Amino acid sequence: MKAIELIIVAVLIFGAGCTQQPPTLQLTSTGEAFFVHLQEGFSGEFVRVVVDGKEVFSGKPTTDPRLGFAEQFAGSAQTTSITLTVEIPSKTFKSTHSLDLTKARGIGISIVNGEVMIIQANAFGYD
């Protein structure tokens, strides 16, 4: 192979491993699938996300300022009407929201000026 062909192959292989794919949603007999993107305002502090009393995420997400994206995960709920709670224990911060998954299966969560902002969409601009 010529040097340029090797470079192109390397770029294609590397680039394929770097793309972020949204989680695949599979509806199961046990619930309604959804996915969550933690977006703006996450700075490495411990965060918990609870849906209908069940923890669906815990970790220390950090927003990538180039994308406005920190973390993604998927879950399922018993119904399309869910109660989502975001907690940051170190700041004694807790915010609870009622959401309807029939509007969209994707939930974007940002923290702006100390408040949780939620956007529902089936895809986000950086997907």
Q: Write down all domains in the chain, each with its CATH number in brackets.
A: 23-121 (2.60.40)
The span from the CA of 121 to the CA of 45, in Å, is 26
Residue at token pair 């933690």: 38
pLDDT band for position 126 (cuts 50, 70, 90) = confident
Query: Which residue from 75, 66, 85, 94 is spatially nearest to 28, judged by alpha carbons?
Result: 75
Asked if pLDDT for residue 85 goes beyond 70, the answer is: yes
The span from the CA of 34 to the CA of 38, in Å, is 13
What are the two backbone dihedrals, phi and then psi, of residue 79, each rounded to the nearest 5 degrees?
-135, 175
Q: Estimate the share of the chain in helix, then strand, then coil, as percent rounded to the nearest 5.
A: 15, 50, 35
Decide: 111 and 41 in contact? Cβ < 8 Å. yes
pLDDT in tens, 102-122: 999 999 999 999 899 999 999
Number of C-beta neighbours around residue 56 at 10 A = 17
pLDDT in tens, 14-31: 444 444 444 444 444 468
Higher pLDDT, 27 or 66: 66
The span from the CA of 36 to the CA of 49, in Å, is 10
